[in-house]
Amino acid sequence: MTDTKTHSGGVEPGSLQGRVFRPQSPRELAEAIELAFDYRGDITIELRFGESMSGYLFNREVHGADSWVEVFPVSSSETRRVRYDEIATVAFSGEDTASGKSWDNWVAKKESERKAETDRLAADAQARGLL
């Protein structure tokens, strides 16, 4: 499978964001679709007949020649089903909304909890006349 990486600033190392997969076999396409299914951002699918569609891949069904994906397109409120055999390219075009943020969120939460506890203890000490 041809895998290219578009280098753009601010992308987490190890993130799929910016990668473009051009599968050369049904197995490679299935691998790219599984990565896209687990991705927490929009993808862009280029179809073999030239159409391109961006959106969030939320479902897929693997049944040999009858395999398909379902996408919430960014340009429509209707979902779209696309057969695997119509897909030429899978690009991880949208921001990976979860990339690197779980640690940052945890740190922010812990800092907020520590500040709230410090404020509570200071208020309690002041109420007792200790401060």
Helix, strand or coil for residue 108? helix
- pTM of the prediction? 0.64
H or E element at residue 116: helix 101-127
Same domain, 86 and 59: yes
Q: Write out the chain's pLDDT in tens, 131 residues.
A: 555 544 334 444 467 888 999 999 999 999 999 999 999 899 999 999 999 999 999 999 998 889 999 999 999 899 999 999 999 999 999 887 766 666 677 777 888 888 998 988 888 888 888 87
* Measured torsion, CA atoms of residues 23, 24, 27, 32, in degrees rounded to the nearest 10: -10
- 19 plus 72 within the same structural domain: yes
- Domains: count for the chain: 2
Instruction: Give the DSSP letter string of 7-56.
Output: --TTPPTT--TTEEEE-SSHHHHHHHHHHHHH-SS-EEEEETTS-EEEEE
Within this chain, do residues 120 and 72 fall inside the same structural domain, yes or no? Answer: no
